[in-house]
Amino acid sequence: MLTFLLIITVFFVSIVATLSIKKAAIYFNVLDHPNHSAERKIHRQPVPLLGGVAVMISFFIGVALIYLWRPTFITHITPGQMLAVLGASVLLMIGGYFDDKFNLPPLKQLIFPLLAVILVVVVGVNLKEITNPLGGKIDLLKFTWWGRFVLVDLIVFFWLLGMMYTTKLLDGLDGLVTGLTIIGSCMIGFLSLTEKFYQPDIALLSFLFATVNLGFLIFNFYPAKIFLGEGGSLFAGFILGILAIIAGGKIATALLVMGLAIIDLAAVIVRRLLRSNSPFFGDSGHLHYRLLKAGLSQRQAVIIFYCLAGVFGVLTLFLQSKGKLFALLILLLVTIFLSVILDLKNKKNELS
């Protein structure tokens, strides 16, 4: 009963926080203005940014309520590590504000995500082993250097940075990142409740994160009344990455939910490098923009992502390690097939 009350409370906290941050963004003129000459800015009127601040505040209010309710309930992340996650999240929001307000160049945008990840790595997280897709576990604590678990540090650093930039660069359609974050959080939560793992604290944190994003999605789904902003889009991937790590290395689960976006991101980066373009400068080459170009509406394109993420996310609840690896391969083939079909259709439209 108390868990249900907690979830309902943070849902309404998220709604109130979103409305408040929306008013603040308008007051301080932190808006995303439409630019019809830029293919990526497809909204028709100025939209408030900084929505991620509302999501962050709501999430950590929920975390604080858990500690007040049952101080010893959360066991898979220490209070000190949680404070590091909070500090890192604040850094992301500070950097996000500056970028939303002043449109920082890509290299300066990178400073705050790097600081956030370094803070978490230095404090440490409870990642001890990861599943070997070919069977068994890989003990990460065997690899030490100068008193640091160097392999753990490297995995956490690149995993969190990769997840953050996946959600950041995916944030191009109304409700896309928020919806995928909800799906990813729920899948980690459900997996944490299975008999094999049974981590009720991770499950509650995951459902908590899904709930605050659901409250925000009410205002972020097409037509969006508020955007996540730079900090919010990074924060979504950051917390998803943290949840996957503290849940015992459930990286495959997050990969399958976000797999379409991750594969598309990798393809876009390769395409930009082959054209001698910077991988940090956005363009309309992402799969979600090509879906729009092929004639789909924003809602239709977003729902396609939701459906694929949901299907492959549910598979993680039933598949073992080798099965998840096979599912990732299928997702790769689906992404390639979808990309080829879209490219052919768009070329046909250009010629007609």
Encode pLDDT of 193-210 as tens digits.
Answer: 998 889 999 999 999 999
At 144-170, the pLDDT tens digits run 777 778 888 999 999 999 999 999 989
Q: Is 275 buried (19+), middle (13-18) or exposed (0-12) by CB count in 10 A? A: exposed
Query: Where in the chain are the domains?
Result: 2-351
User: Residue 22 pLDDT > 90, yes or no?
Assistant: yes
What predicted TM-score, i.e. pTM, was given to this entire model? 0.93
Q: 182 Cβ partners below 8 Å, 6+ apart?
A: 210, 213, 214, 217
Residue 22 and residue 226 in contact, taking contact as beta carbons nearer than 8 Å:
yes
Residue 46 and residue 32 in contact, taking contact as beta carbons nearer than 8 Å:
yes
Residue 218 and residue 252 in contact, taking contact as beta carbons nearer than 8 Å:
no
d(CA 123, CA 18): 30
Residue 89 and residue 83 in contact, taking contact as beta carbons nearer than 8 Å:
no
Residue 166 and residue 237 in contact, taking contact as beta carbons nearer than 8 Å:
yes
- Secondary structure letter of residue 141 according to DSSP: G
User: Residue 248 pLDDT > 80, yes or no?
Assistant: no
Rg (CA), the chain: 20
pLDDT band at 39 (very low <50, low <70, confident <90, very high): low
Q: What percent of the chain has pLDDT over 90?
A: 59
At 299-347, the pLDDT tens digits run 999 999 999 999 999 998 888 778 888 898 999 899 889 888 888 887 8
- Note the pLDDT of residue 240: 97
